[in-house]
């Protein structure tokens, strides 16, 4: 199956790779930080429906099943009040994380430091225009976990990082 992408609307597909980090060197490169709270109205692997509060904005995101590092994604800004109320309807626990933004060689890295049940987990993500796109590997980047479903945010609800062996 091939997905269409509408970059202008930031909808259609998401091509993302995820990595663990091997050291703390990335911290000196952080350009901005954001606190994120997100919950799932549906966390099935075939289709997730996520509600997110980031700063003073709310978002509703629908994602399809992963095919390699690609999946359908549709994200809409919603009123912050609606997002906060929808979080109360979500599966528990709510995922809380600090998102750090790093710019490296023309690419944006999002490094998420998880809190609460997932404290200690730090993931780096990069969005690409194609699965074959090349990018520079920063010195702080560790093992790739793109295909390890334990690291999907939606799976961290039932199986938080604190339970990893």
Instruction: Please tell me the distance from the alpha carbon of residue 146 to that of residue 127, in angstroms, as a whole number.
Output: 11
Q: Is 83 helix (H, G, I), strand (E, B) or coil?
A: helix
Q: Could you give the CA distance from residue 159 to residue 150 in angstroms, rounded to a whole number?
A: 7
Q: What is the biggest distance separating any 2 CA atoms in the chain, rounded to whole angstroms?
A: 42
Q: How far apart, in Å, are the Cα atoms of 65 and each of 32, 59, 62, 68?
A: 30, 20, 10, 10
Quote the Cα angle for 129-38-73, to 5°.
30
Identify the active-site residue in 40, 76, 151, 161: 40
- CA atoms of 98 and 68, how far apart (whole Å): 26
Q: Is 161 a catalytic residue?
A: no
Closest CA to 69 of 7, 19, 136, 122: 19
Catalytic center residues: 40
């Amino acid at each position: 199956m091939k997905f269409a992408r509408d970059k202008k609307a930031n909808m259609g597909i998401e091509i993302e790779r995820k990595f663990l980090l091997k050291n703390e060197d990335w911290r000196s490169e952080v350009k901005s930080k954001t606190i994120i709270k997100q919950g799932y109205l549906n966390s099935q692997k075939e289709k997730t429906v996520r509600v997110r509060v980031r700063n003073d904005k709310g978002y509703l995101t629908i994602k399809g099943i992963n095919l390699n590092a690609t999946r359908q994604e549709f994200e809409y800004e919603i009123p912050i009040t609606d997002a906060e109320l929808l979080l109360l309807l979500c599966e528990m626990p709510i995922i809380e994380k600090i998102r750090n933004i790093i710019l490296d060689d023309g690419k944006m890295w999002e490094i998420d430091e998880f809190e609460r049940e997932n404290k200690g987990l730090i993931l780096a993500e990069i969005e690409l225009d194609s699965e074959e796109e090349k990018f520079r590997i920063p010195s702080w980047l560790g093992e790739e976990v793109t295909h390890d479903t334990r690291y999907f945010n939606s799976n961290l609800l039932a199986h938080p990082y604190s339970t990893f062996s």
